[in-house]
């Protein structure tokens, strides 16, 4: 054998070994985190029950149905629209494992972009998961990609054209669930998932839809609630209610010219009242330092502290960071406040949900105190 053939074999072997090690790690992302059925869960359906077009695809995702004793209005909570924004995913899980609806129905989709939970964004250095201590032991949760896994939707076009408005965005936004609404039954996988969520809202006559997000601390819309015009009254009542609890949140109207987002299209295309909420997540920002599971959980980051001193941020930032308890607490408390505001205005058709973790309790006891033990198989 010639010398260059031997070196070629050695090089190829090296490539195969690296591929095998990394490939095993990438494949491990396909194992989903475990969500325990709480006492309020009456049924676990799949989104394909409302739109069969996604059955058997990576986009199909669990819908936790939590029916109260009395029929009434309903609320849909979307967690994990962006799987790299953990407080949305975790808040949805806390609702599933704790909430007990009395009147009306709560629908929770904890992994709205299910495909995005199976991959990490390249060049972001993201952790694959983070672990929370609970009284019954540690529980881990998935940290995913902002967008649909390219394995499930590829290639991206040069330019993403939003189907119903013609608005153009950079090609990678094709895989962004929150740019795809109202979706298309014959579109990309991401558009099909959007379409499925719209079908659920239409067929179940969902009264209020809350889309849970996080934003990087340098992004202007943060610690905010974004509302479609027809949900404006509900949102401003909610902001007042949260201020009474010393939680500062800003109210942003849904921009008319920014299309494909849940707070715009769900309001235009269905009868639901759409709201979107943002908390502060350092692990998705461009200014962050070392990126790992600890950053996801604590938000402690020296570069963000420095950027805050330079006046570059839209949230206060100090050495205490923005821990996951605070971010989940904001989301869960705001959901409670949205329900309060709705019930005050609509006493004849309330949505009453009990046993939501309180903001102060979450800060003192931690998120883990509200996570159930994983049942033995």
Partner 1 sequence: MFFIYLAILAVVLALTVWVLFDTKKLSLQVTAAMVIVPLLLRLLMIK
Partner 2 sequence: MSQEFWLFILMVGVFAAGCFALKWPVSVSMLLASVAGALAGGVQDPIRHLVEGTFGYVDTIMTIATAMMFMTGFRDSGALEALTAAVIKKFHKLPGILTVLLTFVIMVPGMITGSSTASVLTSGAVVAPMFMSMGMSAVDSGALISIAAILGMIAPPVNIPAMIIGGGIDMPYVGFELPLILLTFPLAIVFALWFGWRKVKKGDHSAMLSKLDFSTLNKYGGLRLFSPLIFIFVLMILDKAVPRIFSLGMPLIFILGTALTWIAGKRFNILKSAKKSIEDVMPVLGILVGVGMFIQIMTATGVRGFIVVNALSVPPALLYLMIAISIPLFGAISAFGSASVLGVPFMLALLSQDQIIAAAALSLIASLGDFMPPTALAAIFGAQVVGLEKYGGVLKKLIIPGIIIVVYAILFIVFSKQIRAIL
In the list 15, 34, 69, 374, the residue contacting partner 1 (rule: CB under 8 A) is 15
What is the rounded distance in angstroms from the CA atom of residue 29 to the CA atom of residue 143? 9
**82 contributes a contact to Zn ion by CB under 5 A:** yes
Distances (CA, A) of 207 to 58, 61, 77, 342: 28, 21, 11, 10
What is the rounded distance in angstroms from the CA atom of residue 110 to the CA atom of residue 219? 24
Stretch that binds partner 2, among 13-21, 59-67, 200-208, 342-350 (CB under 8 A): 13-21
The listed partner (partner 1, partner 2, Zn ion, none) that binds 292, CB under 5 to 8 Å by sort, is partner 2
Q: Kindly write down the DSSP assignment for every residue of 78-104, as one continuous string.
A: E--SSTT-HHHHHHHHHHHHH-EEEEE
Give the N- to C-terminal CA distance of the chain in Å, as an integer.
55
Stretch that binds partner 1, among 12-20, 75-83, 94-102, 213-221 (CB under 8 A): 12-20
The listed partner (partner 2, Zn ion, partner 1, none) that binds 15, CB under 5 to 8 Å by sort, is partner 1
The listed partner (partner 2, Zn ion, partner 1, none) that binds 303, CB under 5 to 8 Å by sort, is partner 2
In the list 12, 159, 344, 374, the residue contacting partner 2 (rule: CB under 8 A) is 159
**44 contributes a contact to partner 1 by CB under 8 A:** no
What is the rounded distance in angstroms from the CA atom of residue 77 to the CA atom of residue 88? 9
What is the rounded distance in angstroms from the CA atom of residue 53 to the CA atom of residue 34? 25
The listed partner (Zn ion, partner 2, partner 1, none) that binds 12, CB under 5 to 8 Å by sort, is partner 1
- Which residues in 169-188 contact partner 2 (CB under 8 A)? 169-171, 173
18-32: b or e for each residue (b if 16 or more CB lie within 10 Å)?
eeeeeeeebeebeee
What is the rounded distance in angstroms from the CA atom of residue 119 to the CA atom of residue 97? 25
In the list 2, 3, 4, 158, the residue contacting partner 2 (rule: CB under 8 A) is 158
Secondary structure element (H or E) that encloses residue 49, with its range: none
What is the rounded distance in angstroms from the CA atom of residue 181 to the CA atom of residue 229? 17
What is the rounded distance in angstroms from the CA atom of residue 130 to the CA atom of residue 143? 7
**2 contributes a contact to partner 2 by CB under 8 A:** no
Q: Which is nearer to partner 1, 62 or 156 (CB)?
A: 156
Judged by CB under 8 A, the number of residues near partner 2 is: 47
The encoded tokens of residue 100 equal 């007990």
**What are the backbone angles phi and psi of residue 71, rounded to the nearest 5°?**
-65, 160
The encoded tokens of residue 260 equal 């494909």
Give the nearest distance from C-beta 23 to partner 2 in angstroms. Answer: 8
237 to 276: interface string for partner 2, x by CB under 8 A: ------------------x-xxx-----------------
Q: Which is nearer to Zn ion, 66 or 295 (CB)?
A: 295
The listed partner (partner 2, Zn ion, partner 1, none) that binds 7, CB under 5 to 8 Å by sort, is partner 1
94 to 133: interface string for Zn ion, x by CB under 5 A: ----------------------------------------
Q: Which among 357, 317, 365 has a CA at the least distance from the CA of 90? A: 357
In the list 6, 10, 11, 21, the residue contacting partner 2 (rule: CB under 8 A) is 21
Stretch that binds partner 1, among 106-114, 148-156, 203-211, 316-324 (CB under 8 A): 148-156
Q: Which among 196, 263, 202 has a CA at the least distance from the CA of 227? A: 263
Secondary structure element (H or E) that encloses residue 277, with its range: strand 273-280
- Report CA dihedral (320, 323, 327, 329) to the nearest 10 degrees: -100
Q: What are the residues binding partner 2 (CB under 8 A)?
A: 18-19, 21-22, 25-26, 120, 122-125, 128, 150, 155-159, 161, 167-171, 173, 218-221, 255, 257-259, 286-292, 301-303, 306-307, 310, 312
The residue ranges that bind partner 1 (CB under 8 A) are 4-5, 7-8, 11-12, 14-16, 18-19, 22-23, 26-27, 119, 150-151, 153-155
């Amino acid at each position: 054998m010639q010398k260059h053939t031997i070196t070629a074999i050695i090089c190829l072997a090296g490539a195969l070994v690296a591929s095998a090690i990394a490939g095993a790690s990438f494949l491990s992302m396909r194992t989903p985190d475990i969500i325990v059925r709480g006492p309020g869960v009456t049924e676990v359906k799949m989104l394909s029950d409302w739109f069969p077009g996604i059955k058997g695809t990576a986009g199909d995702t669990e819908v936790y149905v939590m029916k109260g004793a009395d029929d009434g209005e309903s609320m849909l909570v979307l967690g994990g629209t962006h799987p790299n924004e953990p407080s949305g995913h975790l808040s949805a899980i806390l609702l599933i494992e704790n909430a007990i609806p009395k009147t009306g129905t709560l629908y929770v989709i904890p992994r709205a972009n299910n495909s995005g939970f199976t991959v990490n964004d390249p060049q972001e250095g993201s952790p694959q998961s983070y672990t929370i201590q609970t009284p019954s032991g540690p529980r881990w949760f998935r940290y995913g990609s902002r967008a649909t896994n390219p394995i499930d939707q590829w290639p991206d076009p040069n330019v993403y054209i939003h189907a119903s408005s013609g608005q153009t965005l950079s090609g990678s936004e094709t895989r962004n669930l929150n740019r795809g609404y109202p979706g298309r039954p014959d579109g990309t996988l991401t558009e099909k998932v959007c379409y499925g969520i719209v079908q659920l809202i239409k067929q179940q006559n969902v009264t209020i839809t809350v889309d849970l997000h996080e934003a990087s601390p340098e992004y202007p819309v943060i610690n905010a609630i974004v509302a479609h015009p027809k949900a404006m009254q509900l949102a401003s009542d909610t902001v007042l209610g949260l201020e009474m609890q010393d939680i500062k949140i800003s109210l942003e109207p849904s921009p008319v010219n920014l299309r494909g987002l849940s707070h715009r299209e769900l309001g235009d295309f269905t009868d639901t009242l759409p709201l979107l909420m943002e908390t502060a997540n350092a692990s998705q920002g461009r200014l962050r330092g070392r990126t790992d599971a600890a950053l996801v959980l604590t938000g402690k980051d020296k570069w963000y502290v420095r950027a805050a001193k330079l006046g570059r941020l839209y949230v206060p930032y100090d050495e205490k960071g923005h821990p996951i308890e605070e971010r989940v607490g904001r989301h869960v408390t705001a959901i409670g406040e949205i329900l309060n505001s709705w019930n005050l205005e609509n006493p004849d058709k309330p949505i009453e949900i009990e046993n939501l973790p309180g903001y102060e309790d979450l800060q003192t006891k931690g998120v883990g105190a509200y996570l159930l033990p994983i049942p033995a198989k």
